Structure 1
Amino acid sequence: MYPDLIIMIKENNQTLILVTGGTGFVGIHAIHQLLQKGYQVKTTIRSLDRKKEILAMLKTAGIIQFDKLKFIEADLTRDANWDEAAKDCDYVLHIASPINLKIPKDENEMIKPAVEGTFRVLKAARNAGVKRVVMTSNFGAVGYSNKVKTALITEESWTDPAEKGLSAYNKSKVLAELAAWDFIKTEGQGLELAVINPMGIFGPSFNADLSSGYELLKSILDGTMKTIPNLVLGIVDVRDVADLHIRAMTNPAANGQRFIALAGGTMSLPQISQFLKQELPEAAKNASTKTLPDWLVRLAAIFSPKARAIVPMLGINRNASNEKARKLLGWQPRTNEQAVLAAAESLLKYNLNKI
């Protein structure tokens, strides 16, 4: 074993990381990578009943020892246990997001928990003397004020919270991130912050409880999506999102910075369908090759809630840059195709590709 690697493992053994939202798609991958690197990890879950779920996922990922992993029950919508969660931690990866499975009638039902949850984590981190928080935001906080434009989107770009048609989810993300930066400036007392803004997250899953991106792939694979909307996606592999969080946690240059997480370039849903038919011909034999024009999506939105949910995504500029993360942090993400294929293979692994 190389001397530098021995030193790094020894240092990591003495470093405690809090990961909020351990059952989440990004959260579990972050925990997996941190444990692999020898870190001590504490993770929050809304109910300790889900502890077995995390352990099962980590076993699937190849982790066999759990002496460096601790659990604490904490909910972003409640004050209880956040000070205890942050206690003795060197860093916090704030990945958790309030759960809201339905589109709320009042957008504040989604915005208020996101902002208040961010404050709870940041205050606990500050009070505990944490060095740096790395917060998961998303592309909705960066590039949703750039409709039908060709300008390259960078970390300098911000979504206008007042943008017409902005979803409650994306509005909650931009307002939560703005609140976080304001907190650091006015109340942080030396606490450092870095923010990760991922685009569409794909990649492998450690269990059959799959994220929303998989539903999209499933509907393409099994042919239930008879015609494919011409949605253009920026894509990133979940393994690379977790890796970027860890790089932003430890690299001094990441303090005070935000990083767009994407593989590079874009893929449209019709391109994804063609790619899956090419790479997984048997599994994707029912995948459609027909493209649904934008005007027809808008017409269908009058009658269909699913189509209505797609309309705000039509014409969004996804021409974004990952140069900052590459240059500043040495990040080397997988390709769009690798991320999509890994996600599709997870659907097949858990036999979830059936109609």
Structure 2
Amino acid sequence: MASKNSIKVLVTGASGFVATHCVQQLLVGGYTVRGTVRSLKNPEKVQPLRDLNFAKERLELVEADLEKPDTWPKAVDSCKYVLHVASPFPTTPDENTIKVAVDGTLNVLKACAKCHSVEKVVLTSSIAAITYGHEDSNKTFTEKDWTNIDGKSVNDYLKSKTIAERAAWDFVKSIPEGDNKFKLTCLNPGGVFGPSLTDIQGTSVEIVKRLLNHEMPGLPHLGVAAVDVRDVAKAHILAMENPNSDGERILLCHEASLWLTDLAKFLDKEFGPHGYCIPKRNLPYFLVWLASFFDSSVKGILPMIGHAVKIDNSKAKNILHLEFIHPEKSLVDMGYSLIERGIVPKKSGYKPRTRL
């Protein structure tokens, strides 16, 4: 049996919030990793990856772009596994978000179908491809469900994740004889929280940053299915290694059904004594709708207001044997990482954590 050092894993969009954790865990696990970035000349994105343990020995960074199909054959060459984590997650989604998500996914998969070293692709989809556009507000969602893209107020981001994942499954079913028929697993995480390994302020850290900075007067009545970024990365590697996940969609969320106010309470409990004033009251829909005219990022969440998220995560537990980190720990760890990195300013009463 080959040692893990001789197994090369491609991680697309390697500088992203989830992807950096995938790279870190792969390196610690002994794998050789190739990560894609759009530009090797961007130190803000490249240096945190180069600083990871074992990066000097087993990490190679290459340039590739979701919108440039000719960059992918070289990226996937000689890789046994591909973790396709890269996908647009803009603050203000539009129709181009759908095009980039679908074309980008197919560009990667087409390269894998021509590269016979690739045995399996693990694709990062989203709960956004499962739980939206449904009439039944009490429904408990499973991997059998798909977001209804024709549903009321389903925005372009939700459509992009749904259409891109469907395109991936359709592509794998239609790979012609003679091409490389690789296995596919799609992972569908909820809202991803937890410590950041970079200083890049992507969409995934925006909620916690805004809460700690008291940048919102109140909180939209927003349902959150939370998952820790470390669990999402771990799930990618477990799915990659486990043939029982072949051909499966797997929801990644803690079983607790939470609202944005719950997340705020977790943060207030930990960071209130440090001098941070966390908003905790719900805003009525009308005020959120009004705010959407002045803040385009608010417009993107309007379809999700009042949308309680109930999910069945038994497949992740049964196939991947995951035990999920509680969202309170995810939020607290994320808060400390954002403060220590300077993404959120330190208050005069702030005291660094002495324990993990």
TM-score by length of 2: 0.89
User: What's the secondary structure of 2:250's corresponding residue?
Assistant: strand
User: What's the secondary structure of 1:134's corresponding residue?
Assistant: strand
User: What's the secondary structure of 1:280's corresponding residue?
Assistant: helix
Matched, 1:36 2:24: no
Query: 1:227-274: CA deviations, max 9, x gaps?
Result: 122212111111110100111111010000011111221322222222
Conserved? CA contact 2:221–2:306, under 8 Å: no
Aligned residue in 1 for 2:41: 49
Task: Map residues 278-317 of structure 1 onto 2, 5 A cutoff.
Answer: 278-283=269-274, 285-301=276-292, 305-317=296-308
Matched, 1:149 2:137: yes
Unaligned segments of structure 2, at least 5 residues: 347-356
Conserved? CA contact 1:18–1:86, under 8 Å: yes
Distance 2:268 2:90 in 1: 33
Aligned residue in 2 for 1:349: 340
The offset of 1:11, in angstroms, is 2.2
Conserved? CA contact 1:28–1:54, under 8 Å: no
The offset of 1:326, in angstroms, is 0.5
State the AA in 2 paired with 1:91: Y
Conserved? CA contact 1:147–1:316, under 8 Å: no
Matched, 1:66 2:56: yes
Distance 1:234 1:284 in 2: 28
The offset of 1:303, in angstroms, is 5.9
State the AA in 1 paired with 2:113: R
Aligned residue in 2 for 1:4: none
The offset of 1:46, in angstroms, is 0.8
The offset of 1:210, in angstroms, is 2.7
Distance 2:217 2:88 in 1: 33
Aligned residue in 2 for 1:124: 111
Q: Which of 98, 103, 106 is 1:111 aligned to?
A: 98
Distance 2:43 2:113 in 1: 27
Conserved? CA contact 1:277–1:284, under 8 Å: no
Aligned residue in 1 for 2:352: none
Matched, 1:184 2:172: yes
Conserved? CA contact 1:264–1:322, under 8 Å: yes
Distance 1:55 1:38 in 2: 20
Cα 1:198–1:147 change in 2 (3 A) is farther
Distance 1:84 1:51 in 2: 22
Distance 1:316 1:99 in 2: 20
Aligned residue in 2 for 1:166: 154
The offset of 1:113, in angstroms, is 1.8
TM-score by length of 1: 0.90
Distance 1:224 1:286 in 2: 10
Distance 1:352 1:302 in 2: 26
Aligned residue in 1 for 2:198: 207
Identity of aligned residues (%): 35
Cα 1:77–1:340 change in 2 (3 A) is same
Aligned residue in 1 for 2:224: 233
User: What's the secondary structure of 1:116's corresponding residue?
Assistant: helix
- Greater shift, 344-353 or 195-204, is seen at 344-353
The offset of 1:284, in angstroms, is 5.4
